[in-house]
Homo-oligomer: A and B are copies of this chain.
Amino acid sequence: MSNQKTSMDVFFNPKSIAIVGASESFKFGYTMTNYLLSSEFKSYPVNNTKDFIFGHKVFKNIKDIPDDIELVIIIVKNESVLEVVKDSVQKGAKGIIIETAGFSETGIEEFSKIQKEIEIIANESNVRIIGPNCVGVTNFINKFSTADIDFDESMEEGTISVIAQSGVLGNIFIEWSASQKIGFSKTVTLGNKIDVDEVDMLEYLEKDVNTNVITVYLEGVKRGPKLIEVLKKMTKPVLILKNGRSEIGSNAIRSHTGSIAGDDKIYDTIFKQYPGIYRVNNFYEMFDIAQVFATQPLPKGKNIAIITSSGSLGILACDEIERLGLNLAVLDDSTIKKMKILAPNWTSLKNPVDLGPSLFMNFNQILDAVLNDKNVDALLHIFAVPQKPIKTFSLPVKPHLRELNKLSTKLEKPVITCVFGSRWIVDYFLKDSYKYKIPIMAQISHAIKAFKHMYDFGISNKSNKS
């Protein structure tokens, strides 16, 4: 492999771009082509059957472009990809993203052979190749993207970066996270990993100043020992979702990205062995936890306080706290005294502080009392009040996110809000969650797991390095 060659940065900050296979037809690559050609990124469409695309002059061949080309995006048919790769190398491109599918993942000899030939070119030249069978990269900082997404108002910039194997899933990650106001920094989908793999990307993102948390969706790994070596050295938290735990799952991986899944137990051991590397069960959990790492201070201890409007959900949180080896904070007498003045006589003021529907009243003072308690290291706020009472009462019910953020920042204690109920309530909270950097989630188990990983990260030597 060729680590001393071009940096991964060419993929995220290219000075000039050729889109080979560009077209105006409504097909894969349409949105990307339209977006890049109308953007400030210097982009050139290449297509041997067209003269103009979206009003831009088209070049028959990449070699005809009267300019240096740093990055080539290939979306031609699988049979034509090899030729375009050869032309791109001759043109002096530093990076190539092959989005086209239909190679080794098909299991068909003919297509696997083409992939092999492209791989040889990658090894023998200075060019770096992402793909094939992917949608490439998206950089949320400079708004460069080779995927069919657009940067609408729902997408926020953040410090979470994503390394994913699958193109479709990569885009799903972006859309779901946008709907939850989880902000991304950089995303990349790697496909069949002919050249660039998760090792390259982990090394790049470790040094990337805009990335604080790294999430990885893996199907198979080609450079196992090297991956372990890199994971060991990471100083940023890494959350890994690894499919193919089962035999039939592993077989399916071969047809998807041509990867070998490997023995799942080995992965599990590796992931457990290194501090700062956390295995997750699904992508909702992955991004919920990543968002806590990205927005909250690390807890200084493992004593969790709970303020809830639903006793039942408070109990569920207790179960998770015990299961993961954290502590339910024992509130100081002075804290309970302060709360007694503020809450109705029927509320339970031990931890979990169960305020029932009275969560509406005096919430800020109770929050202040609990979070200031020296025995409390982190706070879970469970907001579960059915829509109807809120709408009916027209009470000054506020998500309190500003206050949560203010206190959390001042006291350096992490805070998570879990919201339950109809969409109306969830939207009400999500509206300001980005502004006030309070993670909003629908699963208490994700929140407690986030505290656990944050605590572990805090006591590892990693947090000192960064």
Contact = CB atoms under 8 A, between A and B. Distances in A.
- Copies assembled: 2
A392 B252 contact: no
A309 B256 CA distance: 11
Interface centre among A28, A106, A384 (most CB of B within 10 A): A384
Interface stretch (A8-16, A317-325, A455-463): A317-325
B248 A328 contact: yes
Nearest to A313: B169
A31 B318 contact: no
Interface string A425-466: 100000000000000001101000000000000000000000
Contacts of A169: 310, 312-313, 384
Nearest to A322: B246
Q: Bin chain A's interface residue count.
A: 35 or more
Nearest to A346: B102
Contacts of A249: 315-316, 318-319, 322
B315 A244 contact: yes
A406 to B, nearest CB: 27
Nearest to A423: B179
Contacts of A284: 442-443
Contact of A26 (B247, B256, B393, B425): B393
Nearest to A264: B319
Interface in A260-278: none
A323 B422 CA distance: 32
B422 A255 contact: no
A357 interface: yes
A318 B252 contact: yes
Interface string A317-355: 011011100001000000000000000011010101010
A227 interface: no
A26 B148 contact: no
Contact of A348 (B219, B255, B315, B345): B255
A257 B312 CA distance: 9
Contact of A166 (B244, B248, B311, B445): B311
Q: Describe A's contact surface by its main secondary structure.
A: helix
B311 A248 contact: no
A168 B385 contact: yes
A149 B256 contact: no
A314 interface: yes
Contacts of A148: 386, 388-389, 392
A420 interface: yes
Interface string A145-167: 00011100010000000000110
B392 A30 contact: yes
Interface stretch (A45-53, A170-178, A199-207, A373-381): A170-178
A173 to B, nearest CB: 9
Interface string A281-295: 010100000000000
A311 B256 contact: yes
Contacts of A112: none
Contacts of A322: 245-249
A356 B101 CA distance: 10
B310 A28 contact: no
Nearest to A444: B282
Contact of A219 (B315, B323, B392, B393): B315
A243 interface: yes
A185 to B, nearest CB: 19
Interface centre among A31, A323, A386, by most B CB within 10 Å? Answer: A386
A33 to B, nearest CB: 11
A70 interface: no
Given A149-B386, A219-B315, A282-B443, 9 more contacts: A30-B393, A102-B345, A148-B386, A172-B384, A176-B421, A252-B318, A252-B352, A255-B354, A256-B311
> What are the 9 closest A-B residue pairs judged by CB atoms, nearest first?
A256-B311, A102-B346, A246-B322, A171-B386, A249-B318, A166-B312, A175-B422, A249-B319, A255-B348
13 contacts: A26-B392, A26-B393, A26-B395, A78-B346, A106-B346, A107-B348, A111-B346, A166-B311, A169-B312, A169-B384, A172-B420, A175-B386, A249-B315
